[in-house]
């Protein structure tokens, strides 16, 4: 039975296989013999990521840039690549915006997540160990991440659980730059109608020119009934984006977990292709939010963040479908 499959029904459990390739710093993930994604840990990306992500029909849903750019892609925000998890303020360090584009003299203000080793590849689960470090490689947090992969003939699922254990006193302060996020393929963007500019957490402006809108048809939704740009900054059980790729109707759904800190999370979803879910947003999204968010973790203590990502092709998910998936995930 595919745990979160609601459109197909009962089937045999999918066979998930892992192929470790240390020389190329990656682990390929296949489901029932078909390639799905790779867990990669390049030296120049500043965090481990899942890249690329595919539908069960073989369509790519994530942006290629900066690792393997494709025609007509935006080349903004080089830190937004694949599917990742990090945050913009950990002991004052920015883990979110770090990339090869940061000047060497500015690097001390940024943190990186360093892959350490694979802990397990049993059944459908990949378990890894990574360290959140400052620019001098001093460890702030140890992260044990469990990826639980699933799927069927028209669906792929990922349950991503990150257990963060402090190696020194750590404070995560409210910040819009986080936490679980994907950078989507052009098909999932909203069509560009004019030149646009976007500002990151450091006030750096990226000018985005009008691009080729052929095949660009992204449409955001959330559990509150908000759509398009109105999902940004809203707290919701789930947020989704629809897009049609070569005639295949695809929904990508991200579900928050009710035991996560500050549930429900704020949506950090943008029309240019960023699809993020942030449990530590607070006033950065909603100025009327009374609380100053701050999460303190003492040495040896842990905090856990858990999310479900569903990639459904061969027809969009309905609101009813997505509510059922969220409820199943949160039982």
SS3 109: helix
Query: With bands split at pLDDT 50, 70 and 90, how would you rate the model's confidence at 7?
Result: very low
pTM: 0.92
pLDDT of residue 197: 62
Q: Which CATH architecture has domain 16-329?
A: Distorted Sandwich (2.70)
Per-residue pLDDT reduced to its tens digit, 12-66? 589 999 999 999 999 999 999 999 999 999 999 999 999 999 999 999 999 999 9
Structure tokens at 221: 């939704």
**Are 256 and 262 a contacting pair, CB within 8 Å?**
no
**What are the φ/ψ torsions at residue 224 (nearest 5 degrees)?**
-90, -10
Alpha carbons 87 and 93: distance in angstroms, whole number: 9
Alpha carbons 240 and 255: distance in angstroms, whole number: 9
Q: Cβ–Cβ contacts within 10 Å for residue 9, how many?
A: 9
Q: Cβ–Cβ contacts within 10 Å for residue 24, how many?
A: 11
**Are 87 and 95 a contacting pair, CB within 8 Å?**
yes
* Distance separating the N- and C-terminal Cα atoms of the chain: 16
SS3 35: strand
């Amino acid at each position: 039975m595919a745990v979160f499959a609601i459109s197909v029904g009962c089937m045999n459990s999918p066979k998930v296989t892992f192929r470790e390739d240390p020389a190329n710093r990656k682990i390929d993930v296949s489901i029932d013999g078909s390639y799905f994604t790779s867990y990669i840990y390049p030296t120049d990306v500043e965090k481990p990521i899942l890249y690329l992500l595919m539908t069960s029909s073989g369509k790519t849903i994530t942006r290629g840039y900066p690792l393997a750019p494709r025609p007509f892609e935006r080349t903004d925000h080089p830190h937004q690549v694949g599917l990742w998890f990090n945050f913009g303020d950990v002991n004052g360090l920015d883990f979110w915006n770090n990339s090869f584009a940061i000047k060497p003299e500015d690097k001390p203000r940024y943190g990186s997540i360093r892959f350490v080793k694979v802990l397990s590849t049993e059944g459908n689960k990949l378990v890894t160990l990574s360290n959140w470090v400052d620019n001098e490689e001093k460890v702030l947090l140890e992260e044990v991440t469990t990826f639980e992969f699933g799927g069927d003939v028209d669906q792929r699922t990922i349950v991503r659980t990150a257990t963060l254990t402090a190696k020194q006193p750590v404070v995560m302060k409210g910040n819009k730059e986080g936490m679980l996020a994907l950078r989507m393929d052009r098909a999932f963007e909203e069509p560009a109608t004019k030149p646009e500019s976007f500002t990151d957490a450091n006030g750096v402006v990226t000018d985005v020119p009008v691009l080729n809108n052929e095949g660009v048809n992204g449409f955001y939704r959330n559990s509150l009934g908000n759509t398009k740009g109105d999902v940004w900054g809203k707290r919701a059980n789930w947020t989704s984006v629809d897009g049609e790729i070569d005639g295949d109707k695809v929904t990508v759904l991200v579900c928050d977990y009710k035991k996560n800190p500050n549930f429900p999370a704020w949506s950090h979803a943008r029309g240019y292709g960023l699809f993020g879910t942030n449990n530590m947003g607070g006033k950065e999204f909603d100025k009327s939010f009374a609380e100053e968010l701050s999460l303190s973790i003492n040495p040896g203590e842990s905090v856990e963040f858990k999310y479900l990502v569903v990639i459904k092709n061969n027809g969009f998910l309905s609101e009813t479908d997505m509510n059922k998936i969220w409820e199943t995930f949160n039982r």
